[in-house]
Amino acid sequence: MKAHKLLLLAGLLVSPLLAQAHEYSAGQIHIDHPWSRAMPPSVPNAAAFFVLHNQGDSADRLISASSPQAQKTEIHEHVHKDGLMKMQQVQGIDVPAGAEVKLQPMGYHVMLFGVQKQAQDGERFPLTLRFEKAGEVQVEVAVQKDAPASEHQH
């Protein structure tokens, strides 16, 4: 009985660490920790964030994303223009050879419009990313109450 409780406790302690470490690859593109912030159920939209690492010798480009979680999905960026912060759609995100690009709050991100049901903290939802050269990869987006620790520097 004591061993059972220790295993249960160990599982509870390790689970959050495992949830933080999910990575995917498409060709030479490595996708690190796709996540989304948990939103109230009444909010119709969501955003997904992750880091793209191009481990290849040539540039690639994220050209689109889709998810059964949303009616429409677009790639967006935040820009500071005329003294205002605005969000606008972009046609893609260049990922230079040997470089990384962060999709993060107040920067590049994937917008999900018309979300069927907001996922809650601890849940995941599928997101398919399409790259010009690397092709398509499906990732699981982890829904979190707060941004990952590395994102808190803003």
Mind listing the domains of the chain with CATH numbers?
Answer: 24-146 (2.60.40.1890)
Instruction: Give this prediction's pTM.
Output: 0.82
pLDDT given at position 154: 37
Rg of the chain over Cα atoms, rounded to whole angstroms, equals 17
Q: What is the DSSP letter of 20?
A: H
More confident residue, 85 or 154: 85
Closest to 28 in 3D by CA, of 54, 51, 62, 61: 54
C-alpha–C-alpha distance, residues 90 and 64, integer Å: 10
Contact 122, 16 (CB under 8 A): no
pLDDT tens-digit map of 105-144: 999 999 999 998 999 999 999 999 999 999 999 999 999 9
pLDDT digits (tens, 9 = 90+) for 3-44: 544 444 444 444 444 444 589 999 999 999 999 999 999 999
Average pLDDT of the residues in 57-82: 96
Q: List Cβ neighbours of 72 (8 Å cut-off, separation of 6 or more).
A: 112, 113, 114
* Cα 15 to the center of its chain, rounded Å: 19
Please provide the average confidence, as pLDDT, over all residues in the chain: 87
Strands 29-37 and 135-144: parallel
